[in-house]
């Protein structure tokens, strides 16, 4: 692999090391455990862990768990599994923002004592109205000038559980006239009774907001560079306000980069949650989902996902990345690594009439055309074989190089055959072909004629029945939900086609879930966890060629 490309954040970090501002770089990846990680998170993970690795620093995995209502240990576990799957290791640097609840509470008391925070009695709705708009300044809360002693008393009682949800908040006292709405006395704490936090249980009924928790958690951990997506640019003044006004050991620098937007999918956790909850997909790991669990089940490799993240780079400009770019990353990886196999997706029986019924042969075939270290395997051959229906037609279009009545074709890794007879059922559908095999054509061209087409096949006696799931883009438009439409109405109705009567070459019996192959002339496939030894299930990872322009 190429060394990681440089980018503006890497340049800042390297300059900070060169100038002696920092001896060691510490970054963090801060997911909220309210969903599974998706390909956008992979960009952030690759940036944070990859950059730390590249400059000899370290990266923390920190759960930003300040919103217990939407969070769950299921997500805490899946996130760790997915980061590990990508190949990154946080060692003993696993943290929860909830680990800091006591310290954060102490910082809030410090702010109150400094006259920089107050207990406000406005409701959520009133707080919103008082905040003003982009063109109108906000209005002061009637409680803005509450005496420090009263604030301390009320804040203690908020913690003790004396007030119901929504009755009071703690707010920073910054500037109600600031052009930046985030600085108009933002809420730092809200009351939430009756929730059981996945880490702290029922210890707290007072929860700090994200904007307050995030900078102080960074500071407590000694993060040097806090990398986040562009929508937090407007929050940076508040980030700096928090770390500058309480006694924290260090002052991290927030730097924003553009988030990954990918065509033909959605990435907001709310939408992904709804896709799962409303049954539009079969789960968070549905192979059509942009989640890392989905991509893994689809057959993506960690190397391909990381390679994709390198290819898109790190900038400050928002853009929409083509699905073809993600697909070319996995196609390049699998082209180099995936063993080749033969699988017939839509079987059509072919009887080789001049091949003895009691004879079987074993065709030695290479597992990979460009990688000799992958060795060879034996492919059984006999009188009855299956080819793909699409490789035979009675009405060939111009340039059809496959099998036609009276025509010849080469069976990959085996002989040239000629179609002598077409057998049809009562409805006129082709159900079988009778063919003759030229036994002089194993590994060499036939005498006196050219046979252009090569098709794949499996031996009927040894073929392994299988289910193959053909996946396509989950949405039929590049930017689902853009322009106010309901993204659900733009789900691709053909995003999954299940072929149940497929036949695989015998070496694919008892395949392990997660094993990846190129099925020759069809594409790259991965064995699904639904596989049994008797009946493998394969998922289409990606086709052999880029078909996005079709
Ligand atoms: P959502 O807005 O859908 O809830 P989120 O950004 O809040 O997602 P987090 O779990 O908070 O999800 O994200 C963890 C980290 O991953 C954050 O630093 C966030 O900026 C980053 N991240 C999330 N989505 C993307 C994306 N599409 N591209 C790059 N980074 C992302
Ligand atoms: Mg979020
Ligand atoms: Mg977030």
Given the DSSP bridges, would you call strands 408-411 and 454-455 parallel, antiparallel or unpaired? parallel
259 catalytic per annotation: yes
Q: Which atom of ligand 1 is nearest to the CA of 43?
A: 29
Q: What is the pLDDT confidence band of residue 508, given thresholds at 50, 70 and 90?
A: very high
Give the CATH number for residue 532: 2.40.240.10
Of 432, 462, 492, the residue that ends a domain is: 462
Arithmetic mean of pLDDT, 9-36? 98
Residues 305 and 172 in one domain: no
In a mutational test of the pocket of ligand 1, which residue from 7, 9, 29, 31 has the highest number of ligand atoms less than 8 Å from its CB? 31
Annotated active-site residue in 62, 146, 236, 269: 269
Residues 298 and 443 in one domain: no
Residues 387 and 425 in one domain: yes
Q: Which strands, in side-by-side order, build the sheet including 206-208?
A: 117-120, 169-172, 187-191, 206-208
User: Is the shortest distance between the CB of 190 and ligand 1 below 6 Å?
Assistant: no
Q: Whose CA is nearest to atom 25 of ligand 1?
A: 40
Q: Is 33 annotated as a binding residue?
A: yes
Q: What is the pLDDT confidence band of residue 549, given thresholds at 50, 70 and 90?
A: low
Residues 121 and 153 in one domain: yes
How many residues in the chain?
550
Give CA–CA dist 526/511, Å, rounded: 10
* pLDDT score, position 546: 87
Arithmetic mean of pLDDT, 302-329? 96
Q: Is 78 a domain residue?
A: yes
Annotated active-site residue in 144, 159, 192, 259: 259
With helix as H, strand as E and coil as C, how does 155-179 read?
A: HHHHHHCCCCCCCCEEEECCCCCCC
- The string of pLDDT tens digits covering residues 399-431 is 999 999 999 999 999 999 999 999 999 999 999
Show contacts of 445-452: CB within 8 Å, 24+ apart. 446/408, 446/416, 449/408, 451/408, 451/409, 451/410, 451/416, 452/401
Q: Whose CA is nearest to atom 23 of ligand 1?
A: 41
Percent over 70 (pLDDT), the chain? 99
Cα–ligand 2 centroid distance for 81 (angstroms)? 19
In a mutational test of the pocket of ligand 1, which residue from 50, 95, 226, 229 has the highest number of ligand atoms less than 8 Å from its CB? 229
Q: Is the pLDDT of residue 96 over 80?
A: yes
CA diameter of the chain: 104
- The string of pLDDT tens digits covering residues 183-242 is 999 999 999 999 999 999 999 999 999 999 999 999 999 999 999 999 999 999 999 999
Q: Which residues share a beta bridge with 228?
A: 256
Residues 14 and 62 in one domain: yes
Write out the residue range of the structural domain in which residue 457 sits: 341-462
The terminus-to-terminus CA distance of the chain in angstroms comes to 31
Q: Is 125 a domain residue?
A: yes
- Residue 376 phi/psi, 5° resolution? -130, 170
User: Is the shortest distance between the CB of 506 and ligand 1 below 6 Å?
Assistant: no
Q: Which atom of ligand 1 is nearest to the CA of 268?
A: 3
Of 222, 257, 292, the residue that ends a domain is: 257
Residues 493 and 506 in one domain: yes
Percent over 90 (pLDDT), the chain? 96
Give CA–CA dist 211/254, Å, rounded: 13
Residues 447 and 474 in one domain: no
* pLDDT score, position 460: 97
Arithmetic mean of pLDDT, 46-75? 96
* pLDDT score, position 550: 52
Question: In this structure, what token pair is assigned to residue 465?
Answer: 């029945």
- The string of pLDDT tens digits covering residues 116-173 is 999 999 999 999 999 999 999 999 999 999 999 999 999 999 999 999 999 999 999 9
Residues 454 and 478 in one domain: no
32 catalytic per annotation: yes
Cα distances (angstroms) measured from residue 347 to each of 301, 379, 465? 30, 17, 10
* pLDDT score, position 548: 72
Annotated active-site residue in 10, 14, 32, 346: 32
136 catalytic per annotation: no
* pLDDT score, position 483: 87
* pLDDT score, position 510: 86
* pLDDT score, position 5: 76
Residues 364 and 392 in one domain: yes
Give CA–CA dist 342/362, Å, rounded: 14
Q: Is the pLDDT of residue 4 over 70?
A: no
User: Is the shortest distance between the CB of 33 and ligand 1 below 6 Å?
Assistant: no
* pLDDT score, position 233: 98
Arithmetic mean of pLDDT, 44-65? 97
Q: Is the pLDDT of residue 3 over 80?
A: no
Give the CATH number for residue 133: 3.40.50.620
Residues 451 and 485 in one domain: no
Arithmetic mean of pLDDT, 273-291? 98
Residues 27 and 155 in one domain: yes
Q: What is the pLDDT confidence band of residue 2, given thresholds at 50, 70 and 90?
A: low
Arithmetic mean of pLDDT, 8-36? 98
Q: Is 1 a domain residue?
A: no
Q: Is 2 a domain residue?
A: no
* pLDDT score, position 160: 98
User: Is the shortest distance between the CB of 380 and ligand 1 below 6 Å?
Assistant: no
């Amino acid at each position: 692999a190429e060394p990681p490309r440089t980018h503006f954040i890497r340049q800042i970090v390297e300059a900070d090391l060169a100038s002696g501002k920092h001896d060691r770089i510490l970054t963090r990846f801060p997911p909220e455990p309210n969903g599974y990680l998706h390909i956008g998170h992979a960009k952030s993970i690759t940036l944070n862990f990859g950059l730390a690795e590249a400059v000899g620093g370290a990266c923390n995995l920190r759960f930003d768990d300040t919103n217990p209502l939407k969070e769950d240990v299921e997500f805490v576990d899946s996130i760790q599994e997915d980061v590990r799957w990508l190949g990154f290791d946080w060692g003993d640097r696993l943290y929860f923002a909830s680990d800091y609840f006591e310290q954060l509470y102490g910082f809030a008391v410090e702010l109150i004592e400094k006259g920089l925070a107050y207990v406000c009695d406005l409701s959520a709705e009133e707080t919103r109205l008082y905040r003003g708009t982009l063109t109108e300044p906000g209005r002061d809360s009637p409680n803005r000038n509450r005496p420090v002693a009263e604030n301390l008393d009320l804040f203690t009682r908020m913690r003790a559980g004396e007030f119901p949800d929504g009755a009071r908040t703690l707010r920073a006292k910054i500037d109600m006239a600031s052009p930046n709405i985030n600085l108009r006395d933002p809420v730092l704490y809200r009351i939430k009774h009756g929730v059981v936090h996945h880490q702290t249980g029922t210890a707290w009924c007072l929860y700090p907001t994200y904007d307050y928790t995030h900078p102080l958690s960074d500071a407590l951990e000694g993060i040097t560079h806090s990398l986040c997506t562009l929508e937090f640019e407007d929050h940076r003044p508040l980030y700096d306000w928090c770390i500058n006004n309480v006694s924290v050991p260090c002052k991290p620098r927030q730097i924003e980069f553009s988030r990954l937007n990918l065509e033909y999918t959605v990435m907001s956790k709310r939408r992904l949650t709804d896709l799962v909850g409303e049954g539009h997909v079969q789960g968070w790991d549905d192979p059509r989902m942009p989640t890392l669990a989905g991509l893994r089940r689809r057959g993506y490799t960690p190397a391909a996902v990381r390679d994709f993240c390198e290819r898109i780079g790190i900038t400050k400009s928002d853009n929409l990345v083509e699905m073809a770019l993600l697909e070319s990353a996995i196609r390049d990886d699998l082209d180099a690594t995936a063993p080749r196999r033969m699988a017939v997706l839509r079987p059509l029986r072919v009887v080789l009439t001049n091949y003895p019924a009691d004879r079987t042969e074993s065709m030695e075939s290479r597992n990979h055309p460009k990688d000799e270290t992958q060795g060879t395997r034996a492919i059984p051959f006999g009188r009855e074989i299956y080819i793909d229906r699409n490789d035979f037609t009675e009405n060939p279009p111009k340039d059809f190089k496959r099998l036609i009545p009276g025509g010849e074709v080469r069976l990959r890794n085996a002989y040239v055959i000629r179609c002598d007879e077409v057998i049809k059922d009562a409805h006129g559908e082709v159900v079988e072909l009778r063919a003759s095999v030229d036994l002089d054509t194993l590994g060499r061209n036939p005498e006196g004629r050219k046979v252009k087409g090569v098709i794949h096949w499996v031996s009927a006696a040894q073929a392994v029945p299988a289910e193959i799931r053909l996946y396509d883009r989950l949405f039929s438009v590049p930017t689902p939900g853009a322009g106010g439409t309901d993204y659900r109405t733009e789900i691709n109705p053909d995003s999954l086609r299940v072929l149940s009567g497929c036949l695989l070459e015998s070496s694919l019996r008892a395949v392990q879930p997660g094993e990846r192959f190129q099925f020759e002339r069809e594409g790259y496939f991965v064995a699904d966890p639904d596989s049994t030894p008797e009946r493998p299930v394969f998922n289409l990872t990606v086709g052999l060629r880029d078909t996005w322009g079709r």
